């Protein structure tokens, strides 16, 4: 599931990453941040923590009790700051961006291949191998998605910034736009 990363979420994730790096606990925090994200995804807990009528002190007590000794103090501190600044709802985005930063540190970039139908594994690998020359990182982690609504073709997402859309849906949309534009002339 894609998470929209705000500038604030990126700043918090970057600060946490830099502090974890300085203390040599990047990997530990990376593991724990995913555990905390899954805990905070619980709808009842989320509702409680995001409810403005509940005093912040009670929310902090709950966080400290639930996570206190189970997570690194840097991560707990980040959660406390997010709660105090009324940004705890952005924790999934913080976790997502922290994950990106740790991948970059490891020299890993994700390539997502989206097709209308499932392809044989060797076809996915062939696309991954061809895309590798466009990556700044030596290792590509392959993810695949099947989206029948693209009709045919392929969409390749390299990292979070590069998208190559060769789907029939996009080609038809572009053709439609050109026809509409030329009809107005």
Q: How confident is the model at residue 2 (pLDDT cuts 50, 70, 90)?
A: low
Q: How confident is the model at residue 1 (pLDDT cuts 50, 70, 90)?
A: very low
Q: What is the pLDDT of residue 38?
A: 92
Which of 146, 164, 145, 147 is CA-nearest to residue 155?
A: 164
Q: What is the mean pLDDT of the chain?
A: 93
- CA dihedral of 144, 149, 155, 157, whole degrees rounded to 10: -60
Domain boundaries, the chain: 7-104, 107-184
**14-37 pLDDT, tens digit each:** 999 999 999 999 999 999 999 999
Model pTM?
A: 0.82
| Beta carbons of 16 and 29 less than 8 angstroms apart | yes
Q: How confident is the model at residue 160 (pLDDT cuts 50, 70, 90)?
A: confident
Average pLDDT of the segment spanning 175-180: 93
Average pLDDT of the segment spanning 64-73: 89
Architecture of domain 7-104: Orthogonal Bundle (1.10)
* Whether residue 185 has pLDDT greater than 70: no
* Whether residue 131 has pLDDT greater than 90: yes
Which of 163, 129, 139, 168 is CA-nearest to residue 152?
A: 168
**74-120 pLDDT, tens digit each:** 999 999 999 999 999 999 999 999 999 999 999 999 999 999 999 99
Residue with token string 């996915």: 124
Q: What is the pLDDT of residue 154?
A: 97
Element (H, E) at 6: none
């Amino acid at each position: 599931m894609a998470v929209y990363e705000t500038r604030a979420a990126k700043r918090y994730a970057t600060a946490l990453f830099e502090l974890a790096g300085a203390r040599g606990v990047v990997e530990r925090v990376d593991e724990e941040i995913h555990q905390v994200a899954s805990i905070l995804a619980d709808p009842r807990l989320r509702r409680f923590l995001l409810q403005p009528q509940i005093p912040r002190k009670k929310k902090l007590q709950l966080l400290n009790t639930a996570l206190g000794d189970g997570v690194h103090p840097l991560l707990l501190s980040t959660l406390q700051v997010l709660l105090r600044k009324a940004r705890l709802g952005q924790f999934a985005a913080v976790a997502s961006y922290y994950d990106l930063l740790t991948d970059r540190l490891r020299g890993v970039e994700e390539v997502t291949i989206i097709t209308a139908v499932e392809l044989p594994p060797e076809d996915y690998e062939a696309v991954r191998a061809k895309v590798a020359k466009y990556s700044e990182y030596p290792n590509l982690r392959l993810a695949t998605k099947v989206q029948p609504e693209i009709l045919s073709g392929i969409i390749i997402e390299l990292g979070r910034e590069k998208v190559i859309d060769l789907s029939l849906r996009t080609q038809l949309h572009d053709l439609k736009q050109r026809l509409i534009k030329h009809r107005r002339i």
